[in-house]
Every structure is written in C-alpha cells, then in structure tokens.
Structure 1
Amino acid sequence: MVSITNLYKRFNKNTVLSGVNLEIHQGGIFTILGPNGSGKTTLIKSILGMVIPDKGTLMVFGKNIKSNSSYRHQINYLPQIANFPSNLKVKELIKMIKNLRGDPGTDLELMERFELAPFLDKKLGTLSGGTKQKVNIVLTFMFDSPLIILDEPTTGLDPISLLFLKERIQIEKAKGKTLLITSHIMSFVEEVSDEIVFLLEGNIYFKGSVSALKAKTQEQDFEHAIASILSNNHA
C-alpha cells in the first residue's frame, strides 16, 4: 500500500526526516505518533505529494509517486486544520468538492450522523471549530477510496461526534481499507490502532502493536509507555 525507503527531508538547516523506512500494508489502522517536531506531518504530506523529499523513494499503490499525481484520487485526506473559504455555504463546499473529484459521493448518511443538516445554508466563516471539523470529516469519508489519511481527526469534536468518528473508522477498516492517523489523544490511539509508528527525531523508533510497545518499555499503561520512550531519549 505505502512503501517508504530511506526518506530524507530538510527545511533550511533543520533535518525533519532522517532516513525513514516504513512499510504499511493494505488493511488496518496505523497511527503515527511522536513529539512535536518529530516529522509526523512532513511524513504524511510527503505521502500526499504536498512535500517533496530531498532523498529516498516513496511508493503508493505499488507506484513511485515522483512525477505522478494520479494516485491522489485514491486517497481521502482529512487535514489537521480545515481552511475552508469563509464566504461559501456548507452545501456549496460539498458540491464543489464533489465536482472537483468527479464523484457524486455518499454524504447523506454522514450528514445525518454528524447532524449537519441545520448548517447546510450557513456560511463556513460563521461556524464553530467543532462544526467545521464535522464538515471536514463528512468531506473525507463521503468518497470510497482505499487509503484514508486522518491528521488529528478528533480536534474539537464533542463526545457523541467522537463516538461516530470511531464508528466510521471501524466501518472503513471492515471494508479492507487502510487508515493512517496522527493523534495526540492517547486513549483514542490505544482504542483504534492496529499498529503504531513512533517517530523520534526524524526516524522510526518503534513500529508494532500497543501491547508490543508496553512489553518493550515494560510499562502496563500505554501513556506511561510513551512517556518512558520520551524520558529515556531526553535523559
């Protein structure tokens, strides 16, 4: 599904990715973790073709993505911050995205689940952060793609919407899809992840299940296992 070999990226003098090697196979939920500045967003944006690596090979769906943008049509992406045009109405944005993708999508059930019907005629600039995130989620899941990338998907969600998000993630997994997630919410990560990928200083420190990480760090609690990695690497 995604194969990354010896990936490097620098921004000025700051090395953000330092020889990353990663294989993500089809089907399942993979969560990328790491402290701020560890390279999580740069890695995701490299997969999306939004950041061009300085060195290395990135294969998606078995094809090198260099000079190839067609693969992006098979990815659904939820950005961390939804920068929508403030003067557009919600229904206008949904229609515009459908037209851009050339796909009618399936948004009615999602809009019902996230209770967006009362907001369809509202301008995006008037919406709260949580409601914008619900729009963001509907736009992400209304298309049928084999790879779904969610960057901090829980931001601003109320408990009921969070429940629906977790439900939707499991529905997509059951269809055999691959979900790649970043999140700072450890309880969410522990609940949904099949595997975690822990980035530290631009490289992969750990890849495996939550239980394997607990065993590696000799911690019974997931949050303490993560804290153990960070404290040991700052000692």
Structure 2
Amino acid sequence: MKPRRRPLLRLIGVLAGLVLAGTTMSAGTAAAAPLPVVGPGTGFVTTGGLDDLTLCSIAAVGYDDAGRLVALTAGHCVLRAGLPVTLVGSPSAPVGTTAVGHWGPDYGVIVLDPAAVTPVSSLGGITVTDIGPGAVGQPVCKTGLGSGLTCGRITETRGSDLMSDALTVWGDSGGPLVVGTTLVGIASHASGAPLVTPTAYASAVESLRLLGVSGAPGAGFRPV
C-alpha cells in the first residue's frame, strides 16, 4: 500500500501548491479600478472655500500646445485658478485643477491629471472632433449635467455669443454645443428663464483665439 500512497500524497501536495500559487497571483495582480471617464457633458465640482463652489459641465477634453491634458468649460465655472476639481459621481479625489476663467466670452480651462481620468471624445450622445464657427440657422445639439441632451438651432448671434433654442438648466454651464461633431459653443447662460428662453453659448472659435493670444493653459486646444 505504501508505494501507492506516496504518489497520491505527492499529487495532493502539487495541487495544493498550484492552488496557493494561483490564489497569491490573483491577489497580487488584481485589476485596478477603472479611471473615471471625462468627456463632453461630464459634470464636475470645484472646491476650496465656500465661495469657490461651482457645479458645471465640460465642453470637451483635449491637449494644448504644451502637451497638457485640459478640459474646456464656462468661465463663470472657474472662480479662481488652482481650485481642486472633482467629478460628479466620483467625489473621492480631485482629477485636476482650475486654470483659466474668462467672462467675456464666457470660457474656462481645467488642467486634468492624465493619471486620474480616461479622456474621451464621445459622451452623452455628443462627439467632439474639432472646433469651428457656428452660423444662424444651423441645427445644433448640446449635452450637460443638468438637462442631458437637447437639440435645436442657432437662432441669432449677440456679439461673439451664439444664441440657441437648444435649452439648458443650471448645471449645464460649460457643456458643449455642436454642429455634427464640431464644437461651436460653450454653454454660458439662459437669456431669461431656463427651458423657456434661448441660451447663450460662448463662441468656441473666439474662445480659443483668445486663449492663443494669452498663451494660457488650453492655448492650441486639440480635442482627443
């Protein structure tokens, strides 16, 4: 009996070793949690003091001339530079900091941490592949944290702003207005009561022109 029992014991030992090794490997190579996705319409919060809190949306994510990963938003969503930015739904850790807040036209820039997010060009039914001008009568769509996807047309221009009946509510500020996949505007404010009166969108072309003149973060923005 002994010659038969020894191979059996050895086999049990080998199997036990494989199970232990597999368990150790699984524990040591457990997949890390996926990074939060950031793209058109992503909601974010700026934090700092009580006077620094904002709840807004992102127009598009891309790279600037310095190679930084940045996001475009509304200027009134950036109360000052250097504020931590967290994502709605992922509030545990900052994913970047505010960099630029410009109020005429109403555009802003967030510098993102490339190790903290997954940047995408398509989200919420909107895709941004380039930047271009908008014209009265063009069909447009927007997305944002507050009201999601809405569509309409560019109804008029007011200075460099584009007015559209693609309506918004609070929280949509900073969201993208697109013609096809071209970003033409950044949601700024309703001209009266939200969802009743047209929304003003900062011209994306004019915003990027001014960023280029200033050389600030976001200059030379190219969508991912």
The TM-score bracket by the shorter chain reads: under 0.3
Q: Which has the higher strand share?
A: 2
Calculate the TM-score normalised by the size of structure 2: 0.27
Q: Which has the higher contact order (CA 8 A, sep 6+)?
A: 1
Q: Which has the higher helix share?
A: 1
